[in-house]
Amino acid sequence: MTSRSTSADFVTAFATGWPEHQSDIMVLSLTTHRGVQDFAFNKEQALLIAKTIKETAAKLENPKTS
């Protein structure tokens, strides 16, 4: 992880529940120019991800205006 790129793919994502057969899982679908990847999380993992995103977003600078 020390040789990470300084640029990132554009990502669109959305979270859905799993089909009614497995309501204890959340699926996060990430779409990049390389294709779609689905990730499955249990409740604890989903809450940790949400908490981390919220904390990181709070630290971001306001968007630059021209």
Q: In Å, how far are 16, 19, 25, 55, 61 from 28, measured between CA atoms?
A: 7, 13, 10, 19, 26
* CA dist., res. 32 & res. 52, Å (int): 22
Q: What is the pLDDT of residue 23?
A: 78
What is the predicted pLDDT for the residue at 18?
62
- Per-residue model confidence (pLDDT) at position 17: 64
Output the tens digit of pLDDT for each of the chain's 66 residues. Answer: 567 666 666 667 767 666 667 778 888 888 877 788 888 888 899 899 989 999 999 999 888 887
pLDDT of res. 66: 72
pTM for this predicted structure: 0.63
Report d(CA 16, CA 3) in Å as an integer: 32
Q: Where are the domains of the chain?
A: 12-59
User: Both tokens of residue 52?
Assistant: 């981390």
**What is the pLDDT, as a whole number, of residue 59?**
94
